């Protein structure tokens, strides 16, 4: 039997995919056909591909999450499966004036890409359940955080109409259960009249009971400040049942979504702590209980990157060279081709490092140097993220290799 290369191109859609199989020099093994994303049809597809003589490699775009079920089934059947960035497919083979865009044409294009990049294809390594769940949690965390921001802004806007300036008196951070002092306060004392229409003594007694009921520290001086402020503010809407419902429901919504955010945050940290790189990542400056698990969720298994430049490119914080002839560009924009979720987390990490200014931290020293050179804000922030990722890759890879070596030595000792 002669050696043959079979390139399988799969154009993935919601609920179904189109499959083509090609060999070198344009030989068509299987004309484009459709497959539904059911257990039965995907298993039949795997059997059909396995039966083809020669070496078979399957390539698809990692668009959305539709491709994951196909990857899982084909990998479990023993097939070589590689998911590639859609941009690589889009930019491949654009040597025609016609813009043909059909599922059949796309599957053939992906198969041709597989043939031309055969040696560079990377076999699919499925994330274990912990990594998969961690990434899913992070996406839900991001969604809930956006909703929290919108809900918070809404309550702030309403508060400025019923009790202007009251937020500045309560600076307590969000608690583990998602509650926040100023939100709880505005739920009960939702209008300035709820405070100033009674005597200072009556309000102080009521405020003390409120603090005890919600688990906050009571401060008589704080009660006096709030009361004095309530006496001076100008409210824009009256104290009636309709406005009470509006304000209290807004406060209730914020507490609810804030509770979801904190639940996601705690669960992400719990899952991340089960990963082998957790210890070394959490020691990196800027990687706290929130940002550390976020980094691990979006980067995933760092060993799938051949070198640190690959990780930087994955995040999209790598500068794109633009040289031509005698012209050499000294400052280039980042590609922004990678994960936007990872870039967002890196931006938070860089902001934390800048705020705390750790003098002995290499990333801060690098950021401060670029800032002193007069680089624009987003330029030095992106450059700092680039350096942080390179250190991340080096530290984690060194740790994992050392751990693997120790485990190997231990197993040999037990065998001896």
Residue range 232-253, pLDDT digits in tens: 999 999 999 999 999 999 999 9
Report yes or no: 138 and 345 within 8 Å, Cβ to Cβ: no
User: What values do phi and psi take at 235, rounded to 5?
Assistant: -90, 155
Task: Name the architecture of domain 5-126.
Answer: 2-Layer Sandwich (3.30)
What stretches of 107-250 adopt beta strand conformation (E)? none
The yes-or-no verdict on residue 1 having pLDDT over 50 is no
Higher pLDDT, 370 or 317: 370
**Across the chain, what does the average pLDDT equal?**
89
The yes-or-no verdict on residue 412 having pLDDT over 90 is no
CATH class of 131-271: mainly alpha
Higher pLDDT, 74 or 96: 74
The percent of residues in the chain predicted with pLDDT above 90, rounded, is: 73
pTM (2 decimals)?
A: 0.77
Residue 323: its pLDDT value, please?
Answer: 46
Pairing of β 27-36 and β 55-61: unpaired
Residue 305: its pLDDT value, please?
Answer: 85
Report yes or no: 59 and 8 within 8 Å, Cβ to Cβ: yes
Residue 314: its pLDDT value, please?
Answer: 87
The yes-or-no verdict on residue 295 having pLDDT over 50 is yes
How many residues in total does the chain contain?
Answer: 416
The yes-or-no verdict on residue 55 having pLDDT over 50 is yes
Token output for 64 = 């959305």
Residue 327: its pLDDT value, please?
Answer: 47
Token output for 315 = 């995040």
What pLDDT, in 10s, does the model give residues 124-170?
Answer: 876 667 888 999 999 999 999 999 999 999 999 999 999 999 999 99
The rounded Cα 376 to chain-centroid distance in angstroms is 25
Burial group, residue 352, by CB count within 10 angstroms (0-12, 13-18, 19+): middle
Report yes or no: 35 and 45 within 8 Å, Cβ to Cβ: yes
The structural domains of the chain, with segments of one domain joined by +, span: 5-126, 131-271, 278-415
Give me the mean pLDDT over the 53-81 stretch: 90
Report yes or no: 14 and 65 within 8 Å, Cβ to Cβ: no
Residue 120: its pLDDT value, please?
Answer: 85
């Amino acid at each position: 039997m002669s050696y043959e290369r079979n390139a399988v191109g799969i154009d993935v859609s919601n609920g179904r995919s189109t499959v083509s199989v090609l060999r070198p020099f344009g030989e068509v093994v299987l004309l484009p056909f459709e497959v539904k994303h059911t257990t039965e049809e995907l298993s039949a597809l795997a059997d059909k591909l396995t039966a083809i003589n020669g070496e078979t490699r399957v390539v698809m775009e990692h668009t959305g999450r539709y491709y994951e079920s196909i990857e899982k089934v084909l990998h479990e059947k023993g097939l070589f499966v590689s998911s590639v960035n859609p941009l690589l497919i889009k930019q491949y083979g654009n040597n025609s004036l016609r813009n043909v865009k059909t599922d059949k044409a796309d599957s053939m294009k992906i198969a041709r890409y597989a043939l031309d990049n055969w040696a560079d294809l990377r076999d699919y390594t499925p994330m274990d359940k912990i990594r998969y769940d961690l990434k899913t949690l992070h996406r839900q965390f991001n969604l809930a955080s956006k909703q929290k921001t919108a809900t918070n802004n809404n309550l702030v806007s309403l508060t400025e109409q019923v009790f202007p300036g009251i937020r500045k008196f309560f600076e307590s951070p969000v608690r583990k259960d998602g509650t926040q002092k100023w939100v709880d306060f505005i739920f009960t004392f939702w209008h300035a009249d709820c405070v100033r229409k009674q005597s200072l003594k009556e309000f102080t007694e009521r405020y003390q009971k409120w603090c005890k009921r919600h688990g906050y520290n009571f401060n008589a001086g704080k009660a006096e400040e709030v009361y004095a402020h309530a006496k001076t503010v100008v409210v824009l809407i009256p104290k009636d049942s309709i406005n009470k419902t509006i304000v209290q429901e807004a406060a209730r919504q914020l507490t609810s979504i804030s509770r979801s955010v904190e639940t996601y945050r705690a669960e992400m940290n719990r899952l991340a702590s089960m990963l082998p790189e957790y210890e070394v990542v959490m020691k990196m400056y800027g990687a706290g209980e929130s940002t550390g698990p976020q980094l691990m969720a979006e980067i995933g298994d760092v060993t799938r990157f051949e070198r640190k430049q690959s990780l930087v490119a994955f995040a999209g914080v790598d500068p794109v060279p633009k040289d031509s002839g005698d012209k050499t560009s000294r400052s280039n924009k980042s590609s922004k081709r990678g994960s936007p979720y990872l870039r967002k987390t890196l931006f938070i990490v860089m902001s934390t490092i800048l705020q705390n200014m750790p003098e002995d931290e290499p990333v801060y020293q690098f950021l401060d140097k670029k800032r002193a050179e007069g680089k624009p804000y987003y330029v030095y922030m992106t450059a700092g993220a680039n350096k942080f990722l390179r250190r991340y890759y080096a530290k984690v890879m060194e740790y994992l290799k050392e751990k693997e070596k120790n485990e190997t030595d231990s197993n040999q000792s037990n065998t001896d």
